[in-house]
Amino acid sequence: GAGVSQSPSNKVTEKGKDVELRCDPISGHTALYWYRQSLGQGLEFLIYFQGNSAPDKSGLPSDRFSAERTGGSVSTLTIQRTQQEDSAVYLCASSFFAGGSSYEQYFGPGTRLTVT
C-alpha cells in the first residue's frame, strides 16, 4: 500500500523566507510525527499530532516553527523567517493508534531543506 509521502522532496530557500513542508500519512494512521535529521544533531523530535490536536510540541526549536493538521490527515510544517541553522532533512512519520496504544512509526522520504 501507499506509504507516508512528503513534498517537496527538496527545497532551497533564502534566509528570511517562509517555507511550508507537507506530509501525507498512511491512510488510517491517526498519529503523525515530525522529526528532523541533521549532521550535528542526529534525529530530533519536533511535534506529534493525535488526530488534529498536538499533545506534544516540545521539540519545536523556536516560535518560528509551527505545524497544523487538518481532517486528521495531511499535516503542514511551517518555518517562518528561515535561518541557516534550519537546514536539515525534515521527516514525517505516522502510526496506527488504537486502544490507548501506539504502534510502530513509518517514515516518509523527507524534505531536504537548504537555507542559503
Partner 1 sequence: AQSVSQHNHHVILSEAASLELGCNYSYGGTVNLFWYVQYPGQHLQLLLKYFSGDPLVKGIKGFEAEFIKSKFSFNLRKPSVQWSDTAEYFCAVNPRPNTGTASKLTFGTGTRLQVTL
Q: Which residues here bind partner 1, judged by CB under 8 A? A: 31, 33, 35, 42-43, 45, 48, 50, 55-56, 59, 91, 93, 95, 97, 100-102, 104-110
Q: 12 vs 43, which CB is nearer to partner 1?
A: 43
Shortest separation between residue 12's beta carbon and partner 1, angstroms: 19
Shortest separation between residue 45's beta carbon and partner 1, angstroms: 4
3-state secondary structure of 61: coil
Q: 45 vs 76, which CB is nearer to partner 1?
A: 45
Residue 109's CB: how many other CB atoms inside 10 A? Answer: 14
How far CA 114 is from CA of 8, 58, 60, 73, in Å, comes to: 12, 23, 18, 26
Q: 14 vs 58, which CB is nearer to partner 1?
A: 58
Q: Return the C-alpha cell found at 49.
A: 499530532
Residue 111 contacts residue 11 (beta carbons within 8 Å): yes
In angstroms, the CA 74 to CA 70 distance is 6
Shortest separation between residue 18's beta carbon and partner 1, angstroms: 25
